[in-house]
Structures are given as structure tokens and as C-alpha cells.
């Protein structure tokens, strides 16, 4: 599996040739029991990925998942129980925690944005502002937080931005060129930062229009102008403090790069439960 190969790379990056501390300090026969616990309220994402890190490193580790991705939990909740060779548990711990803390941070921030626009009809979507190598996992985390995915990659749709439009000589020319070549089930979105461009994109037959860095009043005018003929996406500099006003203009989607690019990691720890004696020799 592609994900397994990536997780093995993450482990190799952290371990190097050997975990010196665990090898020197922990007896090879020692068995450990640990619980992965939420140390603050959060929305979970990446629990299965964290579990997979442990099982890939040492198949002898027994894992019990006590939560699911997309679940919102309070401080102190146990997310996972693990038992197995103590050396292996301690060696794989940081890689597993790094991933689940990062992904749950994205899910938690996403859920906060989604809550701010509840009842407006607007939907939160992510962007391509993701960590190289982690896009699929980060976009999964957005979905866990209640957001929706925009393009998964450049092959997922046609988005005509200002530079594409400039190279083609204008919005009408750019849309016509894209329409003549695009797969029939693929939509064409046009980025606009002025109302006259919105009119031009409509006339050219765009399937969707992005309102880029527009003032709220201008967005409201764009919504009235388009009158439901194509979906509208608001984008650019959206924050928790501003997203409600943007949603109330009547746009269909609001894209936010911050939920993947700037989400803080949440606090999740791996706590020793009890010292388990090594098995006795027969």
C-alpha cells in the first residue's frame, strides 16, 4: 500500500539506524501497556493511521481503538490502548503522535470554522495548501471536521486563475480554450476579483466562479448578479472572525487554506498504564 510505504519512510526518518535510548534503557523482553489520551478537547482524525504506525513497526503490538475519526472528545478521554514490546512502543511513539496530533489539529480547526457558518447554507472547503506528502491525510482530516474537499490535485478540475487568463488573452478566451479540451464531466471554475469579471465569466459559460479577495459588499453584489445560475466560491484571507459575514452574503462555498496550512497540533499523549513483567521462562 502507498500509505504503508510512506509511514515506513516516516519511521525511518525518525529512527535512523537504531533507537539508542530504547535499546540501551529498555530490556528486550519488557512488555509495556500504554494509553493514548486526549489532553484537551478536540475532533479526532488519524487514529487509524497512528495505529498503523505501531503495527507496521512491530506486528506484536496489540491495539484497541476506543474512538473513531470525526468524533469530538473531551479532555482526558482515552483514544487507544496498546500493549506489546516496550521498546517498540517507545520507538514508534513519536511518529504516531506527530501524525494524529497534526491531523486532529486540522479536524479541530475545521470543525470550528464549520460551526461558525452553521445555518447559512454555505459549505467550508479546503485548498491545495497542504503539506507535501500528506495531502490525502490532511484532506481526510478536513472531512473529519465537517468540511468538504476542493481539488485533490491539479488533475481534479480546471481552475482558471489570473495568470492563466492573462496568458490566454481574457476570460472568454480562456474558458473557450478549456471547454474545447476538458473531459466532459470536469467543471471549469474561473477566479474573479471584480464584478465585471464575474459578468464575463458567466457569459463565457463558466461552471463555477471564485470570488477572490472581494469585500463582503462586493460578494453580496456578485451573489445578486449570478442569481443562482452557477455556484459561487469565496476565497482569500478568510478567518474565524470573518467567515460568518462572508457566508451570510449567500455564497455556496468558502475555501480556507488556514485549516490545512496553519492549524495548530492538538495535545495527545501516550501514557504508561502499568509495568507488565516479562513472560517467565518455562
The Cα–Cα gap between 33 and 276 comes to 7
Judge whether 270 and 19 are in contact, CB under 8 Å.
no
Residue 255, strand partner residues: 125, 235
Is-catalytic flag, 275? no
What is the Rg, in whole angstroms, of the alpha carbon atoms belonging to the chain?
24
Catalytic-role residue among 94, 128, 148, 187: 94
Catalytic-role residue among 93, 212, 233, 252: 212
Residues 6+ positions from 71 with CB-CB distance below 8 Å: 43, 44
Judge whether 91 and 41 are in contact, CB under 8 Å.
no
Which of 268, 271, 270 shows the shortest CA–CA distance to 46?
A: 268
Catalytic-role residue among 138, 189, 191, 200: 191
Is-catalytic flag, 212? yes
Catalytic-role residue among 129, 177, 220, 244: 129
Is-catalytic flag, 60? no
The Cα–Cα gap between 60 and 279 comes to 14
CA distances from 259 to 74, 127, 142, 238 (A): 21, 9, 8, 10
Judge whether 192 and 220 are in contact, CB under 8 Å.
no
Which of 207, 205, 215, 268 shows the shortest CA–CA distance to 42?
A: 268
Judge whether 207 and 230 are in contact, CB under 8 Å.
yes
Is-catalytic flag, 94? yes
The Cα–Cα gap between 48 and 55 comes to 10
Catalytic-role residue among 161, 194, 229, 239: 161
CA distances from 260 to 106, 272, 278 (A): 6, 31, 43
Q: Which residues are catalytic?
A: 94, 129, 161, 191, 212
Amino acid at each position: 500500500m502507498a500509505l504503508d510505504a510512506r509511514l515506513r519512510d516516516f519511521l525511518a526518518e525518525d529512527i535512523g539506524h537504531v533507537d539508542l535510548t530504547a535499546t540501551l534503557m529498555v530490556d528486550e523482553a519488557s512488555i509495556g501497556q500504554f494509553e493514548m489520551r486526549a489532553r484537551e478537547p478536540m475532533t479526532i482524525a488519524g487514529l487509524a493511521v497512528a495505529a498503523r504506525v505501531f503495527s507496521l513497526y512491530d506486528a506484536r503490538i496489540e491495539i484497541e481503538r476506543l474512538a473513531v475519526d470525526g468524533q469530538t472528545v473531551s479532555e482526558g478521554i482515552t483514544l487507544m490502548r496498546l500493549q506489546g514490546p516496550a521498546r517498540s512502543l517507545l520507538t514508534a511513539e513519536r511518529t504516531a503522535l506527530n501524525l494524529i496530533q497534526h491531523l486532529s489539529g486540522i479536524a479541530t480547526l475545521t470543525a470550528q470554522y464549520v460551526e461558525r457558518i452553521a445555518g447559512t447554507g454555505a459549505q467550508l472547503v479546503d485548498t491545495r495548501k497542504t503539506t507535501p506528502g500528506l495531502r490525502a491525510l490532511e484532506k481526510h482530516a478536513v472531512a473529519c471536521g465537517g468540511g468538504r474537499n476542493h481539488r485533490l490535485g491539479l488533475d481534479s478540475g480546471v481552475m482558471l486563475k489570473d495568470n492563466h487568463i492573462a496568458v490566454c488573452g481574457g476570460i472568454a478566451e480562456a474558458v473557450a480554450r478549456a471547454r474545447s479540451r476538458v473531459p466532459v464531466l470536469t467543471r471549469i471554475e474561473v477566479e474573479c476579483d471584480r464584478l465585471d469579471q464575474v459578468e464575463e465569466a458567466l457569459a463565457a459559460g463558466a461552471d463555477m466562479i471564485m470570488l477572490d479577495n472581494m469585500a463582503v459588499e462586493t460578494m453580496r453584489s456578485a451573489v445578486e448578479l449570478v442569481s443562482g445560475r452557477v455556484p459561487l466560491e469565496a476565497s482569500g484571507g478568510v478567518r474565524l472572525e470573518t467567515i460568518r459575514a462572508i457566508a451570510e452574503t449567500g455564497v455556496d462555498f468558502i475555501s480556507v487554506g488556514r485549516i490545512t496550512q496553519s492549524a495548530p497540533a492538538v495535545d495527545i499523549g501516550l501514557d504508561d498504564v502499568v509495568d507488565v513483567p516479562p513472560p517467565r521462562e518455562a
